[in-house]
Amino acid sequence: EKGGHEYFMLKEIDEQPTALADTLRGHFAGGRIVLDEQRLSDQDLRDVDKVFVVACGSAYHSGLVAKYAIEHWTRLPVEVELASEFRYRDPVLDRDTLVVAVSQSGETADTLEAVRHAREQKARVLAVCNTNGAQIPRESDAVLYTHAGPEIGVASTKAFLAQIAANYLVGLALAQARGTKYPDEVAREFHELSAMPDAVRRVLGTTAQVQALGRELSDAKAVLFLGRHVGYPVALEGALKLKELAYMHAEGFAAGELKHGPIALIEPGLPVVVVMPSPKGRAVLHSKLVSNISEIQARGARTIVIAEEGDDTVRPYADELIEVPAVPTLLQPLVSTVPLQVLAAEIARSRGYDVDKPRNLAKSVTVE
């Protein structure tokens, strides 16, 4: 049942190209993005003047990634909030607010309560969910299903990538309804998304290299993760995976924050994973990160760099270079997250831990 894999998580990492393809399938027809159920009309989408994404854990990170795309495509303000914080604040909501509730299980208590709160305030709620008929989609105005298939490993992998893809479909549907993107631009974005299953398949070719690195790092006391722009939530996700699977202290930072505190943590031998943006995309982001890496390397950190294939400028600063295919900037999280999943799983495995069932964690958190 694990299809020749030692753990479900490794099988699920390998299933990510299929999870993405299945999640995108059928959502572009007749030259338009189509969501699952048209319970939210085009008029409803046109009226939206603010978007909240509410979720927990990895699903929250998928929202942080989506914020960059949705704001860019729609020019709507997007706030991403932990469901457990959202519901105990007094968020400003009305009928023109779209709340996107992202949940693999569809049963997470805090996310469900956030949905209930949003609906009481008359906001429109769209669930992004991987489980047919779960409570969160049942209580939402509309649902967009991710088709990652059942995820057995407690740590989310394929559901996380599928959540990013689904959140992007929501963003494109909003851009289309609002006219902030021309139909041919929406079509082009969808086309680029559709190329991601192949890109992820190619990243899976780095698995053996990343596993060898994981074995080398199994005795590390801590690992830091740095990124900028969409690479920042990827850094947070990489750190979360390592904490939950390898029980290792791990933290993700926005690279721009380095000088505001975290650089004090850098000491000789400390592994620091850096998620590089494309050198061809935002050149300024790229050069800022190169200077961040040179600073941490100068202080003796062991730099592990996830960078685009052929990015030679970064090579001198990378003690270990993991190359991922060139993809458009907003889609980079779909490739750069994958080696971080493999890394966490392998560190956990070499420390003798159960990769599929980390201690103290449940697959679906139905208590608050």
Task: Please give the residue whose beta carbon sits closest to ligand F6R in the complex.
Answer: 57
The minimum distance between CB 108 and ligand F6R, in angstroms, equals 3
Query: Do 159 and 165 form a contact (C-beta atoms < 8 A)?
Result: no
Question: Distance between CA atoms of 256 and 264, rounded to whole angstroms?
Answer: 14
The minimum distance between CB 111 and ligand F6R, in angstroms, equals 5
- Residue 129, strand partner residues: 103, 145
The minimum distance between CB 226 and ligand F6R, in angstroms, equals 20
Question: Distance between CA atoms of 14 and 148, rounded to whole angstroms?
Answer: 12
Length of the chain counted residue by residue: 368
Tokens of 353: 């831990």
Q: Distances from the Cα of 163 to the Cαs of 43, 93, 119, 147, 237, in angstroms?
A: 25, 23, 22, 9, 13
The minimum distance between CB 326 and ligand F6R, in angstroms, equals 27
Residue (118 or 186) nearer to ligand F6R, CB: 118
Residue (111 or 207) nearer to ligand F6R, CB: 111
Question: Distance between CA atoms of 85 and 55, rounded to whole angstroms?
Answer: 10
**Which run of H or of E encompasses 226?**
strand 222-227
Phi, psi dihedral angles at 323 (to 5 degrees) = -95, 135
- Cβ atoms within 10 A of the Cβ of 298, count? 10
Which one of the listed residues 50, 288, 357, 363 is annotated catalytic? 363
Residue (166 or 199) nearer to ligand F6R, CB: 166
Within 8 A by CB and 6+ apart from 352, the residues are none
Residue (158 or 181) nearer to ligand F6R, CB: 158
Tokens of 357: 């069932």
Question: Distance between CA atoms of 52 and 167, rounded to whole angstroms?
Answer: 12
Question: Distance between CA atoms of 263 and 298, rounded to whole angstroms?
Answer: 11
Q: What residue ranges bind ligand F6R (CB under 6 A)?
A: 56-59, 103-105, 108, 111, 155-156, 240, 244, 364-365
Q: Is 363 designated active site? A: yes
Question: Distance between CA atoms of 321 and 91, rounded to whole angstroms?
Answer: 43
Residue (156 or 206) nearer to ligand F6R, CB: 156
The minimum distance between CB 56 and ligand F6R, in angstroms, equals 4
The minimum distance between CB 227 and ligand F6R, in angstroms, equals 18
Residue (58 or 329) nearer to ligand F6R, CB: 58
- The residues annotated as belonging to the active site are 363
